[in-house]
């Protein structure tokens, strides 16, 4: 099932256009290898996006790795007719990094080499996701990925910066100041590796991506492999085998939706037919390397005798 973000406009000046009927989202992402990235969207998730748009709040999305949290940013951008700017959170991230970074090491080397312009810190400033958004005249989708990797104070600092809707570059003299010109959509993802602060959660809209039902998995595979013209019965069998592998008790890292799609593509490249796949036992599943990522899980499946 697919849905559209057609309830709330991101800005009064740039209303979101609502197509006449629901469509599958074919998201063009030139900044991500240029490939089309379809997205199968549930009604519940579409509603969460619309709630975040209505409240003008960041949308926090949780779910296991590979469940499509990050790709959602491009689906939203496609519906709103805009682009995505990304910030990938690190264990050393601070709030300033959301706006800009200064390459102090390169500036030091240039100063040592008496390079013209080394005295001006502005020559070494790189604007990051929120900095680019606040300097932009158009609505953007700002993706802040894997916030649970950040230091403890980062989530609350992030929302404080979002509330201010402006920033300045303190290292430059005089410091240039930028203020948000239009509303942007902020998507924050978390793998739930640690608990996020209550004040942060209170100021976000929330959505969780549960593991899809078998029928949804089949839809996801078919959308992502549309050019391969796979038989629905082959996809159904592949999903059944994938779910059987996920059901093996004791796996350290269960395969995720993204790995399912990759695995089906590998099966096609290897020339594995539906009959050949059906004839294999669980432990003999072709291309297990695409699904099981630890030696312990491989050994566990070999001993399962499924």
pLDDT at 271: 94
More confident call, 43 vs 138: 138
- For domain 25-208, the question of CATH label 3.40.50.1220 is answered with no
Nearest Cα residue to 73 out of 145, 152, 8? 145
Alpha-carbon Rg for the chain in angstroms: 23
Q: Compute the distance between CA of residue 62 and CA of residue 70 in angstroms, rounded to an integer.
A: 10
Mean pLDDT of 52-60: 90
Q: Compute the distance between CA of residue 242 and CA of residue 246 in angstroms, rounded to an integer.
A: 6
pLDDT at 305: 65
pLDDT at 33: 36
Q: Compute the distance between CA of residue 84 and CA of residue 106 in angstroms, rounded to an integer.
A: 28
Q: Compute the distance between CA of residue 160 and CA of residue 42 in angstroms, rounded to an integer.
A: 31
Question: Residue 53, Cα to own-chain centre: how many angstroms?
Answer: 18
Does the pLDDT of residue 61 top 60, yes or no?
yes
Render 158-201 in DSSP notation, one character per residue: HHHHHHHTEEE-TTSSSPPEEE--S--EEEEEE--SSPPPHHHH
- Give the DSSP H/E element, type plus range, for residue 60: strand 59-62
Structure confidence by residue, pLDDT tens digits, 151-169: 988 998 888 888 888 888 8
Calculate the alpha carbon distances from 81 to 60, 135, 139, 142, 300 in Å: 21, 18, 9, 14, 46
Write down the mean pLDDT value for the chain.
83
Does the pLDDT of residue 27 top 60, yes or no?
no
Structure confidence by residue, pLDDT tens digits, 241-279: 999 999 999 999 999 988 999 999 999 999 999 999 999
Query: Contact at 8 Å (CB) between 300 and 251?
Result: yes
Does the pLDDT of residue 218 top 70, yes or no?
yes
pLDDT band at residue 119 using 50, 70 and 90 as cut-offs: confident
Structure confidence by residue, pLDDT tens digits, 271-306: 999 999 999 999 999 999 999 999 999 999 988 765
Q: Compute the distance between CA of residue 302 and CA of residue 194 in angstroms, rounded to an integer.
A: 32
Helices 214-224/232-246 angle, 10° precision: 120
What tokens were used for 112? 């040592």
Q: Are strands 59-62 and 205-208 parallel, antiparallel or unpaired?
A: parallel
| DSSP secondary structure code for residue 78 in this structure | H
- Give the DSSP H/E element, type plus range, for residue 236: helix 232-246
Mean pLDDT of 14-34: 36
Q: Compute the distance between CA of residue 210 and CA of residue 159 in angstroms, rounded to an integer.
A: 26
Calculate the alpha carbon distances from 80 to 84, 132, 180, 262 in Å: 11, 18, 18, 28
pLDDT at 105: 84
Does the pLDDT of residue 11 top 60, yes or no?
no
Query: Contact at 8 Å (CB) between 152 and 198?
Result: no
CB atoms within 10 A of CB 153: 12
pLDDT band at residue 35 using 50, 70 and 90 as cut-offs: very low
Mean pLDDT of 15-39: 40
Query: Contact at 8 Å (CB) between 67 and 209?
Result: yes
Phi-psi map region of 209: left, alpha, beta (phi>0 left; psi -120 to 50 alpha):
beta
pLDDT at 7: 42
Query: Contact at 8 Å (CB) between 24 and 78?
Result: no
Nearest Cα residue to 62 out of 148, 160, 2? 148
Structure confidence by residue, pLDDT tens digits, 129-148: 999 999 999 999 999 999 99
Query: Contact at 8 Å (CB) between 113 and 105?
Result: no
């Amino acid at each position: 099932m697919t849905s559209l973000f057609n309830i709330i406009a991101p800005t009064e000046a740039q209303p979101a256009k609502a197509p006449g009927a629901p469509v599958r989202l074919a998201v063009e992402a030139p900044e991500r290898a240029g490939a089309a990235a379809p997205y199968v969207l549930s009604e519940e998730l579409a509603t969460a996006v619309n709630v975040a748009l209505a409240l003008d709040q960041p949308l926090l999305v949780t779910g296991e790795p590979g469940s499509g949290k990050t790709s959602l940013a491009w689906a939203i951008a496609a519906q709103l007719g805009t682009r995505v700017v990304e910030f990938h959170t690190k264990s050393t991230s601070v709030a300033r990094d959301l706006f800009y970074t200064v390459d102090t090491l390169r500036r030091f080397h240039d100063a040592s080499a008496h390079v013209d312009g080394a005295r001006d810190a502005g020559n070494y400033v790189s604007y990051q996701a929120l900095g680019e958004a606040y300097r932009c005249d158009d609505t953007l989708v700002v993706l802040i990925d894997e916030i649970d990797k950040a230091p403890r104070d980062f989530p609350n600092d992030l929302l404080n910066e979002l509330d201010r809707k402006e920033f300045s570059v303190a290292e430059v003299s005089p410091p240039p100041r930028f203020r948000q010109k239009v509303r942007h959509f902020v998507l924050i993802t978390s793998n739930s590796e640690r608990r996020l602060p209550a004040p942060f959660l209170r100021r976000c809209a929330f959505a969780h991506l549960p593991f899809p039902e078998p029928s949804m998995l089949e839809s996801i595979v078919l959308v992502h492999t549309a050019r391969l013209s796979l038989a629905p019965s082959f996809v159904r069998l592949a999903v059944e085998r994938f779910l059987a592998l996920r059901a093996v008790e004791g796996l350290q890292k269960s395969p995720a939706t993204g790995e399912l799609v990759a695995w089906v593509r590998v099966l096609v490249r290897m020339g594995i037919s539906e009959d050949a796949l059906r004839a294999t036992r669980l432990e003999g599943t072709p291309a297990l390397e695409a699904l099981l990522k630890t030696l312990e899980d491989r050994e566990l499946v070999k001993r399962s005798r499924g």
